[in-house]
Chain A
Amino acid sequence: MKYESQRVAWWFFATCMLLFGLQLVYGLIMGYAHAGHDPLHPIIPFHVARAVHTNLLVVWLLTGFMGAAYFIIPEEADRELYWPKLAYVQLIALVVVGVVAIIGFHLQWWEGRKFLEIPRPLDFLVVVDVLLFIANIGMTIWKGKRMTTTSMVLFFGLLMAALLYLPGMIPTDNQTLDSYWRWWVVHLWVEGVWELIMGAILSFLLIKLTGVDREVIEKWLYVIVGFTFLSGILGTGHHYYWIGTPRYWLLIGGVFSALEPLAFLGMAIYAIAMARKGGRAHPNRVALQWTIGCAVMSFVGAGFLGFAHTLPQVNLYTHGTLVTAMHGHMAFWGAYAMLVLAMISYALPLLTGRKRHDTPSASFAFWTSNIGMIAMTLAFAVAGITQVVLERRVGMDFVTVQKEIEVHFWGLLLAAGLFILGISAYIYNFIRHGKPVAEVQGGGDSGASPPAAEAA
């Protein structure tokens, strides 16, 4: 940690751990319900668990991105945060909105629009909160000593993410238009601007962990985010096949979303190539593991499994089945969950001054959670493909098919047990690192610039 104000990142990361842990609980409730056991139905019916599970994911990832930005931007801009106290206020506000939303979901106060269930009054608070965050980051970069590509890509990724939240609030009576704008938010986030954030955080981590020259890493960053937008923007079309929109989206969505794996493949090759090229043995090997793992698993989950059902000929049968859940779980895990966990793994020893990255539990967390997630994805795949064949091809009744595939959800729950074990180890390691240190500890491990003498 080079600057005192970076310390706020720890509180964001701690919030991430809490929300992530809670997300797993709601996932289990849904897994058991799918396996035929819903004892919690009178208190937490499936649609409540589902809204909480997905929204917790979105909130903890956003919290992680914010924490990452508060850690990265001072180092990149070479100065303290412009408004250090505002960062704390902004975190507390985010947590309050999140808690109110989650309690609201249990009382069935929501909007009922997949991923954007947060009720309208809270939407406005989220926007205000994110704008405060953007302002803080923006002023820090503006007043900073240098403006790096990494910090600019991160900033624009976050700014665009905030602006793209707005189309989701356009009022309409038509279900098709409702969906149309909803995907502007959801798709352009996860297959668009969030990838800017991902690219920037990966760049930062690779610069720090491999010691490869910044110019080289940032050049390839441009190429990769270039491919992301080239494929991702028009790739939104794969959500517009079957919702009452013109037929030309079948062609446009099909062609451009077929290109989307290239961006992820590029990201994976880039991370591996930089790690090899660097050859610098950074002591925090677990952080590098998570970084490379993120790039590889995002290709498998988002790129490869996304491609598996993105072509209209296939998607006609898989759209709206558990095949989507298969792709969704590994895509979010690989691209964004692992990214935040990589960032936390890197930042934690620097924030707390305790170098616990070599402990067996850190490595155990990485491997167990990844093997668990791969097994979960396989269970979803078997359940999803069986559902597609029996329901969509053979024409069997929905309820009958769901009974047939209940057994695969026991497999899913076993895999989820492994995953939860891994994440528990990660959280245990986080707790063992303890609270952040009070004093600034020299130049972190960048070694590029002298410690901040002007730190307030």
Chain B
Amino acid sequence: MNTITALKRALYASVAFGLATGMATAEDYSQYGIKADVPGMCSFEAIDAKDYTGRTLNIITHAIPVIGEPTALHARQFQELTGATVNVVHVPFGDLFQRIMIPFQTGQAAYDVLFYGSLWLGDFNPYLAEVPAAYQEVAGMKEVTETYRGIAGWQGRMLQYTMDGDRHYLKYRSDVFSNPEMQALFREKTGRELTVPATWEDYNEVASVFTNMDWDGDGAPNFGTAEVTKRDDLMFSAFISRVAPYAKHPNVKGGFFFDLETMTPLVNTPGWVRGLELFVAAQAAMPPGGTSFGLGDEIFSFGGGQTLMSYSWDDAFIQAMQEDSPIRNKVAAAILPGAKEVWNRKTGQWDTFDEPNRVAYVTWGWTSAVAKDSANQDMAFDYLCFFANEANTLADLQIGRFGINPYRDTHFDPAFYETEMGWDAAVAETYTATLKGIDTAPNQVFDLRVPGVGEFMSSLAAGVARAQSGEQSPQEALDGVAAEWTAIVDRIGADRVREAYANVVALEDR
């Protein structure tokens, strides 16, 4: 084990012990499932001192368990501590956007607190209250990494209260990659060494070699790759992961989805088409039914040990690392594969790189906010501050189904995963190094956070699905998407979309 990690583990254990003994004199909140309260403005003790008796807080959130379960859990705790009445409405994902948007548009203060996908900020921003300065200064918020603070902001104001961090990364079976027999097999079939894929071409090649064979010896066939391919099930994020290194040139600024100056869609440029061609080609290495996998299928396919590689959010990795998982500690994480040829839209040529262009895709992420029209903003921000306090977050991070993933500097410490979750050191190292690497990557892509993002992504997913099913070629499909995007921009107004998109480009080009 690495010396620094060992020292961190010892330090972590001693801090935890110190906190625990220190708390022995203060009130004990361990019955709420936390290890120890962490003093501060958002702590259990501080919230316990508040009295909201006779007041009601209305919260809208996702269905249980993802985000919905921790929302309800912390709502119950908040209610017990403060005396407030807290109503939580759980809504399926497909209805969440409109259930929030309709009250906004019709001027009803239906909900005080909202949990939703952070990419909807482009639509919701006119209706959200700015996070008060006092809450921005709490220790927990100060520890939020620059990337996730950036996602919470809109035109210089913090409108979203950060409580989750999401990104796409590569997951693979480390036991297979390090198995000499598998290495020999790969060498025999391809003439090169088996390495963790550095490009999407490598990824497809590795996947194709290890598909439809029983490489884990359990008697059932295994497959090369599990990806989110089902239309309308966040497939657009998987597609963007594959496209980004071909289309997001490290030296070309000013937009990935659009050319910020002209607001011309870039979705049918050669880099995007190359990404789609490889996405379509990868279907041959997917499990049966893999061409219609939703996120849940992808999680169970990789997390259940069926497939060699996958890429998306944390869920599949966490599933693989559950205590009862047959592949616990047999997985590793890495930044998404890249591309050695990158389309330069300024010169209209492919540029070649010796080291692959790796693009970190910071996608989605649950977030929370307080409605501008809420009459209970003080209580609403106290709830969010309590939800995301250090003690609650460390407890929530350990429960995979909650859907809360690392977003603070302290969450990238491998010692936490070793000590608290029992992960092997190597797994914890690759996991935290990958997450940290994404957070500090020089070339990043963010979601298209503009008004009408749902329509843009729906159009993109439909076009990609047409190419996947063979209804159209990748170029035809993306030409169709570009035409639809142009029509959407015309309808909304190019200046309006540009103004919003400039916020995204500012994050990417900083």
Partners in one complex: no
